[in-house]
Structure 1
Amino acid sequence: MTKTEIQKILPGLGLSVGVAILAKSLALLFPTLGGATIAILLGIVLGNTVFKQPILQAGTKFSESRLLEYSVVLLGFTVTFQTIAQLGVRGFIFVFVMMTVVIISTLYLGGAFKFNRKMSMMMAGGNAVCGSSAIGAIAPAIKADDQEKGQIITLVNLLGTIMMLTLPFLGTSFFPKDVLAQGALIGGTLQSVGQVVAGASLIDPSVVQYAMLFKILRIILLVVVVAIFEKMAQATATSHATEAKIKKRTKKFPIPWYVTGFLIVCILNSFITLPSSFEAVAHFLSTWFETTALAAIGLRLDLRRFIKEGPRFLFYGLSVGGVQTVTALLFLVVFPV
């Protein structure tokens, strides 16, 4: 990173850290809410009122993306294969069923709400896998334009924010003593990594670990989802040249680096006995990176953009979210993980 790039991110990064420190301090007075919840709520309020300056954007974007990715990697120091094994066969089946139902239902609802096929596919991938990252991977494969991509990213973020604030309460109501089920509900449904971390943190730090395992399973399947949409795009392509271009672009989307990093650290932690200080330091850094990232997510959440999209977008998003939530609850109640 060059000196110029560092200078660009410092204002927004400093603001995100400041909001995180304030949130952690307020959490001492309001322990029920917790630092994560306060950080994102403070961010939303401040980002839509006082801190809307363009100079902050580079730093808050860095905080939202990079710090959260580092937090995921560090989480590997607290997870072993024995932890992953607790998900069981039903945990893997749950992720597969959820992703399948979300993709099929979102494509159908997209048609019902008169959205074109490209927007429906981006919406399906964003909700089934990992929000904006999945949309960014799918958009070039299906040749979606920037305006369509921006609209769907906005809608997915809005839906994710709503679900992030509601699913924790559903999780504690339906599964009051089942940490694994709470993690499955949040990690198997919420759109972005940040929303999963934030939603799980609203319940208890122990839920974050399991929620992230379910989330990482979904992210690993991003390559499969992009391949499926590649085939769908090829089926409607008008020339072999277009198909070749789609195929060429699709190959550029590997598994995100932080998922690979998490898995490497997890393998290391499973086979090598590391000093206890490693886990303590990793947990400390991960918590602060997480809180700072959540503050940045709140600061970057532009409520005006959501209002501009109109009721059709909101009804589409709420319908997709409703299907996700009901499917997850039904599965977890009938077939406990």
Structure 2
Amino acid sequence: MTDTIKKRTIGFLAAAIIAIISQFLTAIIPNIGGATIAILIGIVLGNTVLTQPVLSAGTKFAEKRLLEYSVMLLGLTITFQTIIQLHWSGLLFIIIQMAITIIAAIMIGKWLHFGEGIYLCMAGGNAVCGSSAIASIKPVINASDEDAGMSITLVNLMGTVMMLALPVIGTMVFGHVDMLRGALIGGTVQSVGQVIASATMVNQTTVQFATLFKIMRIIMLVIVVTVFARIHAKNEKLANAEKEVEEEVKKGKIDFLPWYVLWFLIFCILNSFFHLPAFIGNTAHLLSSWCEIIALAAIGLRLNLKAFLKAGKRFAIYSVSVGVIQTIVALILIKLLIHA
């Protein structure tokens, strides 16, 4: 336990210091925001002077755990009144968006002559929740470590591009309507961290809506894993696909409802029915914001720009094609289905 804390301390402190500096810099450049500044500083330093392996454990912890804490605490700032604003059209948007993303990723993957391991991991990672979805899908389709690793790299790289681009695209298309910008970001950007980072570049209300749309996608993971197990069974002519899924769940390799999503829902219920004092919501908002900014600094520190250059042309075409289709389809569906 003590050794683990020591290993994480240096990287965590590096991310925390960047977060503090970014908050001070918001006084000079307030239009950008502390979260954006934090991730940009992290990217610059993480690819120049802060490349030491000793930072890895701490930045990985900050990126993963603090974002989970941030999502959990966000439940204390949201009520069912906020969720009701999404209507059934919000759920329909997510279902159609995910279905089209999965179909597109599979079809493009086959067209580019990628194997099942790559195109199913890419489909799940882009449609649901990035690396976490790939980790859940990998065991039930028997994907190789190499296929899963490459998929995670491609999904994260494209997610970073979309994370930075969608706040601008959303504002250009939808103006300053926070629900619609939140739908675009939460319905398309790959990982939880990237969704929060992207929405934070807009404003806190957009973060709330983007988080709700993202959680809808995460909850769909159970369906996606089951469907992919069936696809794998059909491809391999296996008859025990459902049994494989059950066995992987028992082994703890698949977590259909992450703990932080569960606590988000619990806190949201408490906040909706028991009228919690304002200071609880304010404190949760403050803690959630700091968790976000430190985590985003860590994401920046961990982002390896060299990976962009190492990805081959075929992989780049695949990743960009899926990302472009996701974005265009989301823009069309939001225009058709969601009315703020």
TM-score w.r.t. structure 1 length?
A: 0.97
Counterpart CA distance in 2 for 1:208 and 1:305 is 28
Distance 1:197 1:70 in 2: 12
> Where does residue 313 of structure 1 map in the other structure?
315
What corresponds to 2:136 in structure 1? 137
Q: Deviations over 1:183-204 (max 9, x none)?
A: 1000000001111111111111
Report Cα offsets for 1:69-98 as digits up to 9, x if no partner.
Answer: 000000000111111000011111000110
Matches within 5 A, 1:173-252: 173-237=172-236, 244-245=243-244, 247-251=246-250, 252=252
What displacement does 1:236 show? 2.7
Paired with 1:274 and 1:245, the residues of 2 have a C-alpha distance of 44
Asked whether the equivalents of residues 154 and 306 of structure 1 are also in contact (C-alpha less than 8 Å), the reply is no
Q: Can you list the C-alpha shifts for 1:258-280, whole angstroms capped at 9, x where unaligned?
A: 10010011111111111111011
C-alpha displacement at 1:174, in angstroms?
0.9
Give the 3 Å change call, closer, same or farther, for CA 238–169 of structure 1 in structure 2.
Answer: same
Q: Which one of 250, 275, 278 corresponds to residue 276 of structure 1?
A: 278
Cα distance in structure 2, aligned partners of 1:15 and 1:333: 42
In the comparison of the two structures, how many residue pairs are matched? 336
Distance 2:47 2:223 in 1: 37
Tell me: CA distance 1:98–1:240, structure 2 relative to 1, closer, same or farther (3 Å).
closer
Please say which of residues 114-123 and 232-241 is displaced more in the overlay. 232-241
Aligned to 2:295: 293
Instruction: Name structure 1 gaps, 5 residues minimum.
Output: none
User: Hey, what does 2:96 align to over in structure 1?
Assistant: 97
Secondary structure of 1:52 counterpart: coil
Q: Name whichever of 308-317 and 152-161 sits farther off.
A: 308-317
| 1:14 equivalent in alignment to 2:16 | no
The percentage of aligned residue pairs carrying the same residue is 50
Structure 1 position 216, deviation (Å): 0.4
- Amino acid across the alignment from 1:38: I
Aligned 8 A contact 2:229 2:241 in 1: no
CA distance in 1 between counterparts of 2:331 and 2:241 reads 41
Is the Cα contact below 8 Å between 1:64 and 1:294 reproduced in 2?
yes
- Greater mean alpha carbon deviation, residues 325-334 or residues 63-72: 325-334
Partner of 2:337: 335
Moved segments of 4+, more than 2 Å? 236-247, 334-337
| TM-score after normalising by structure 2 | 0.96
Superposed displacement of residue 246, structure 1:
5.3
Q: Following the alignment from structure 1 to structure 2, what is the Cα–Cα distance between the partners of residues 242 and 95?
A: 26
CA deviation string 1:20-63 (max 9, x = no partner):
11111111111111111111111111111111111111100000
Paired residue type of 1:55? V
Structure 2: stretches of 5+ with no match in the other structure: none
Query: Is the counterpart of residue 48 in structure 1 residue 47 in structure 2?
Result: yes
